[in-house]
Chain A
Amino acid sequence: MTMKTIAIIGAGPAGMEASGSLARLGYHVVLIEKEATVGGHLKNLFQLFPDRRPGKEILTHLVQTIKHPGIQIKVNSEVSEVQKLDNSFALKINEETMNADAVLVTTGFDLYDATEKEEYGYGIYPNVITSADLEQMFHNGKVVTEEGKTPKRVAFIHCVGSRDEKAGNNYCSKVCCVTAVKQAIEIKELLPETEVFCYYMDIRMFGPYYEELYREAQEKWGVMFIRGKLSEASQNMDGSILMKAEDTLAGKPLRMNTDLMVLMAGMVPSASSKKVAQQFKMEEGQNRFFKSADNHYRYNESQQMGVFIAGACVAPMNITDTIANARAAAVKIDEYLKN
């Protein structure tokens, strides 16, 4: 029996973990990544919830996993053409053609483009940033306003571009609530004098130890949680941000000044996922993420025979679930190729 080949598109946590699993099962894996380096969004994460371990630790672990003779890594690469054959796919990558007996799509997510919510002022007022920008500040070890000052107050805005009919995204991005809590604590550790507010609709602490983290933020760090949605923001003369919101618990409109406003931009299906969907004629669900053949039983199978899906391109997911999901996909592919 000749060795079967699996093409994995996207080398984020999902693609990396699945590559390792499949290689260990004895398959030849071609891992295709459009960026120059592997790691996906994990590369940008400074500390991970819930235990605050460095993101680098997990990344190192995953990089270790894909160091396997059965895995061929192609960075700066994208599939340009797809041809469906009888029991396989002919893929064109960088002018070379390869044959894949199965394809695993792990193209992940994009961060919601917060400039679309112009009323929040991202891209207009420099002191309005996203959680990803803040993560970058943590990497640099310094949280300052545009004017270079230490912020006296920081406000996190939950559900930016998620659970938002007007943005066209009705789903919950799952990880942003706990990310806000994690980042709020990190600010407090770094700048104990700074007041931190979170504006939320609901707090969704879905994973193990997340609720504990939320409690710690309130009890130990004094982070203040306000239930209410931001309606709009404008800039004061000194560059600080004037927020207009409604406190839905108190039932009153509310105004607050803040030095830094952090938008918890949600997850949207990545733009390149759309391209892949067209290439392989895969269906999208109502939320525009890939559609599984069955929501319970065949979660990792797409509607297209021989094409599998895993990770945040299927639905918003944290890293723990992404890794579990990638392994499940590996098992499914193994079963598929053995039959």
Chain B
Amino acid sequence: MQPNYFDPFVLPFTLSMFALLTFLVFKYGSWIYRFGASDRKKVFKGFFSRNSWLAMKEIFMEGLLHRKIFKTNRRLGYMHMSLAFGWFLLIVVGAIEAHTFAKGSSPFYFPIFFRFFVPGTHESFFSDGFTQLMDLLLLFVLSGLFLAVLKRFKSVWVGQTKTSRKKPIDRVVLTSLWLIFPLRLLAESFTSGIHHSGGFLTGSLGTFFGVFLPINQLAYPAWWAYSLALGFFFIGLPFTRYMHIPTEMVLIFFRNWGIKLGVDNPVLMEVEINSCPKCGICIDTCQLSSMAGIHNTQSVYFIQKLRYHEDYNQVAESCLMCGRCEAVCPVAIDLNSIRLMHRADVSATREENFGFIPVQTRTADVIYFAGCMTHLTPTIKNSMVKILNASGDKYWFFDKEQGACCGRPLKLAGQLEAARELVERNRQMMMESGARMLVASCPICYKTFAEDYHLGMEVLHHSQYLERLMANKQISVEKLEVSAVYHDPCELGRGSGIYESPRAVVQNVAKLKSSVYQKENALCCGGSIAHLTLPLEKKKQIARETLRLLTVEHPQVIATGCPLCKKSFTGESGTKIMDIAELVAKALVAKPVREAAKQQKEPVYL
């Protein structure tokens, strides 16, 4: 005999759940539909592949256990984990319990309201164990909830200085989310109290409430309230940040199936935007907020502006593109790229003409490209020329007369058409030289050559080139008597993943000191050309603060690998700032002239 497991109070939950599922199916379906043909193919191919397993594993690690948040901050990690993983277990264990009891078919809301329909103790398999386990899980979730409430009122305690600002609808849904578990606790306790059942938590609480509360009258309304809270939450979810819960999982699947963000893929961007839980981790890491007092431009605000179709132009511009937020974002949203995609394409407003740059080509093995920033820090350029002359490599100093630019600043300023034209001009000259390698001194140029030029030759930043010259014994150096801390330039470090080569170079010529702010956690010098409107005083403020943090170990030199970093620090620093090329040039030991160098008395350049 199948008992009738129905009561009207299940309706708010059931109907809202259906509405939500319909909405999600429609939404995700439309995303897949709007993907380009090739991405759609990836979805269908990926669906049955091993990658789906990997995705599930990732969802488990990140979506439920929140491993990345744990890494940044334990307490915050625990909060997220107990809420997500705890709830997940409640559902899974609850379902098993209900199925063990019902031995087969039961309505899908049955596990959620199990205690209502099966209020007393019962004899099915492991029933006592389940009851205690479910109580334990509920306690686990409630502990996370407690932290969440605390965070709302006192975010410093969970280790964040600022929490993100919330919209009214967020508040309504947040309240219903907060109420779900306390209401469940009350409903289950009351019912247990009436029937003298329940586990260590609901059972004892039920007995306790029974002493002074009319639990007989309260139990039924409590179940209604519980169902309503669930209902409100599910209905509101698509309009709030909680949309991130299902979307993040979808995003992980998409990524594992090989779908990438690109200018031609605005759909994945939409998925990413909807996956942001507004955790606010990107706020604390941003130097614009911690050092320059600008509190409205951090990635979370930018993403929200996009999500709610608000005017984002000013916020899109106001960013150093340092990538610090992207490095810590637990959802790994492509924050820099999304920002760049939203900088206005202003190509149309200006007419660029690069006719003044002579098209000339030299044959050489190595092309050296100093870059316009390096021309403004001639010590770096001179050091590189000295080293190149000593290396014996046959090189061509491409921009000795400083005609060309790599094109990146134009791109960052939204001058896309002009940037394309410039890139094509340079590319042509470089390809014709027959060189096997391009060496750039500016990390911004390096990244541009490596990613946008498709040169078919090796592209190296000078740190990599210097490391190689030393390893090949093409140059020899003598260790200098100085200690140096190495500052990772944003574009070279987080931007291009080059952390070790410059360190190897510094280690060869000086005593390398480490810093808390290194590698992925390196700070921005403040001088970023990506930020077009930041006032100079703010830039200097960032530079000064960064310098203070970099020099706690009192190094004699701050070494870096970017002319722009050097420029932003100089003048604000009591410690000498040197490019690694300068250090190497200083440490260079004259040695017997090699064959190649003999033939090449004068350096080969324009």
Residues of A participating in the B interface, judged by any CB pair closer than 8 Å:
113, 115-116, 118-119, 121, 124, 165-168, 232-234, 244
Contact = CB atoms under 8 A, between A and B. Distances in A.
Nearest to A170: B536
Contacts of B382: 124
Contacts of A166: 536
A232 B571 contact: no
B378 interface: yes
Choose among A118, A124, A244 the residue with the greatest number of B CB atoms under 10 Å from its CB. Answer: A118
Given A116-B570, A168-B537, A244 B402 contact: yes
Contact of A124 (B375, B379, B567): B379
A232 B377 CA distance: 9
Contacts of A234: 378
B536 A232 contact: no
B540 interface: yes
A113 B572 CA distance: 12
A119 B402 contact: no
Contact of A168 (B379, B402, B536): B536
Interface string B349-385: 0000000000000000000000000011111001000
Interface residues on B, range: 10 to 19
Given A166-B536, A168-B537, A168-B540, A121 B570 contact: no
Interface in B73-104: none
B379 A118 contact: yes
B536 A165 contact: yes
Given A116-B571, A118-B376, A232-B378, 14 more contacts: A113-B571, A116-B570, A118-B379, A118-B570, A119-B375, A119-B376, A119-B377, A119-B378, A121-B378, A165-B536, A166-B536, A168-B540, A232-B402, A234-B378
Interface string B240-279: 0000000000000000000000000000000000000000
Given A116-B570, A116-B571, A118-B570, A124 B378 contact: yes
29 contacts: A113-B571, A115-B570, A116-B570, A116-B571, A118-B376, A118-B377, A118-B378, A118-B379, A118-B566, A118-B567, A118-B570, A119-B375, A119-B376, A119-B377, A119-B378, A121-B378, A124-B378, A124-B379, A165-B536, A166-B536, A168-B536, A168-B537, A168-B540, A168-B571, A232-B375, A232-B376, A232-B378, A232-B402, A244-B402
Nearest to A167: B571
Contacts of B566: 118
Contacts of A124: 378-379, 382
A232 B402 CA distance: 10
Contacts of A119: 375-378
Contacts of B378: 118-119, 121, 124, 232-234
Nearest to A161: B571
Ranked nearest first, the 6 interchain pairs of A and B with the lowest CB-CB distance are A119-B376, A116-B571, A118-B377, A232-B375, A124-B379, A116-B570
Contacts of B570: 115-116, 118
Nearest to A165: B536
Nearest to B540: A168
A116 B576 CA distance: 12
A244 B400 CA distance: 13
A315 B570 CA distance: 25
Nearest to A234: B378
A118 B567 CA distance: 8
Interface in B565-605: 566-567, 570-571
A244 B402 CA distance: 10
A250 to B, nearest CB: 15
A327 B414 CA distance: 57
Contacts of B536: 165-166, 168
Nearest to A244: B402
A334 B402 CA distance: 61
B8 to A, nearest CB: 70
Nearest to A119: B376
Contacts of A115: 570
Interface in B520-578: 536-537, 540, 566-567, 570-571
A121 B382 CA distance: 11
A168 B537 CA distance: 7
B380 to A, nearest CB: 9
Contacts of A165: 536
Interface in B418-464: none
Contacts of B571: 113, 116, 167-168
Contacts of B402: 232, 244
Nearest to B379: A124
A116 B536 CA distance: 15
A110 to B, nearest CB: 13
Interface in B389-426: 402
Nearest to B381: A234
B39 to A, nearest CB: 45
Nearest to B563: A118
A167 B402 CA distance: 23
A168 B567 CA distance: 13
Nearest to A121: B378
Contacts of B376: 118-119, 232
A298 B377 CA distance: 44
Nearest to B567: A118
